[in-house]
């Protein structure tokens, strides 16, 4: 044989006597293309996916599809949902607005709002401070039969000495007027029933009579204890109102058909 290398030798793999051809090429008795391929995959660490895994994935997809197919009700935040909460949209139209009720309770509630600007001096409980500002609670100027004098104090203010609950006070209270009848009537009612327990209502008509007297007197000048005693120690003129009267919260007037069928 020529010592020159066969040019076709590089195209053929070298065969080593130690190589087992059958094992290398999976050529064994009974081997088929499928078994050869499966043997090769197993040897490469890429075993076939088990059938049970396909079944489990199919069941998961089936359940998920069923939930989505029902319109996503599992995630709907309504009364039928397991996550329903109190902030669900209210489709009932909301609470019914109350437009009528007993006069005394309503006037006291409204008067408390106006009294807010008085509380800084006389206190939230109307007891004053004991030194500079007299009390309104248990004050004869508030609880007595002299509602006209109380109205004049509110609208005009008061200066000079005044005796309240057995003590003489000497200061100056600024005028709170002008006020409308819808502001003055509830404020006076609150002073007499929120801070005290008189049990009456100062009506809109009576409050308007006080405003008329205030305007006739002429705004801008504070009243005094002597003036009050000389001219205003009386009930305000005008029709009084039963505390249990049902009134309209808009007009502050009695409801014509209250109690009717």
Structure tokens at 30: 């009974």
- CA pair distance 164, 127, nearest whole angstrom: 11
- CA pair distance 190, 236, nearest whole angstrom: 16
**CATH 1.10.760.10 domain span(s) along the chain:** 101-248
Please check whether residue 248 is in contact with residue 100, taking contact to mean a CB–CB distance below 8 angstroms.
yes
> How many CB atoms within 10 Å of residue 86?
4
pTM of this prediction exceeds 0.85: no
Of 216, 203, 200, give the one whose Cα is nearest residue 152: 216
The arithmetic mean of pLDDT across residues 172-180, rounded, is 93
pLDDT digits (tens, 9 = 90+) for 12-38: 555 555 655 555 555 555 556 655 555
> 101-248 — its CATH code?
1.10.760.10
Confidence of residue 105 (pLDDT cuts 50, 70, 90): very high
- CA pair distance 232, 40, nearest whole angstrom: 118
Confidence of residue 158 (pLDDT cuts 50, 70, 90): very high
DSSP string, 199-236: --B--HHHHHHHHHHHHHH-TTS-B-HHHHHHH--SPP
> How many CB atoms within 10 Å of residue 239?
8
Residue in the structure block whose two tokens are 């049990």:
199
Residue-averaged pLDDT of the chain = 81
> How many CB atoms within 10 Å of residue 246?
16
The arithmetic mean of pLDDT across residues 79-105, rounded, is 71
């Amino acid at each position: 044989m020529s010592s020159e290398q066969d040019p076709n030798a590089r195209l053929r793999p070298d065969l080593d006597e130690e190589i087992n051809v059958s094992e290398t090429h999976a050529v064994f008795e009974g081997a088929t293309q499928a078994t050869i391929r499966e043997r090769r995959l197993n040897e490469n660490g890429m075993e076939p996916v088990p059938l049970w895994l396909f079944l489990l994935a199919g069941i998961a997809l089936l359940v998920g599809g069923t939930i989505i197919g029902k319109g996503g009700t599992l995630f709907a935040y309504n009364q039928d949902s397991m996550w329903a909460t109190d902030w669900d949209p209210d489709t009932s139209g909301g609470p019914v607005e109350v437009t009528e009720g007993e006069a005394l309770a309503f006037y006291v509630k409204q008067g408390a709002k106006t009294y807010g600007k008085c509380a800084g001096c006389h206190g939230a409980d109307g007891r004053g401070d004991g030194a500079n500002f007299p009390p309104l609670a248990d004050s004869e100027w508030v609880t007595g039969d002299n509602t006209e004098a109380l109205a004049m104090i509110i609208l005009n203010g008061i200066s000079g000495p005044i005796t309240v609950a057995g003590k003489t006070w000497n200061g100056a209270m600024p005028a709170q007027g002008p006020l409308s009848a819808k502001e003055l009537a509830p404020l006076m009612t609150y002073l007499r029933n929120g801070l005290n327990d008189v049990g009456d209502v100062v009506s809109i008509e009576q409050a308007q009579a006080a405003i008329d007297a205030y305007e006739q007197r002429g705004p801008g000048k504070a009243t005094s204890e002597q003036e009050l005693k000389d001219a205003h120690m009386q009930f305000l003129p005008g029709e009084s109102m039963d505390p249990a009267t049902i009134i309209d919260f808009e007009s502050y007037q009695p409801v014509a058909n209250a109690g009717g069928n």
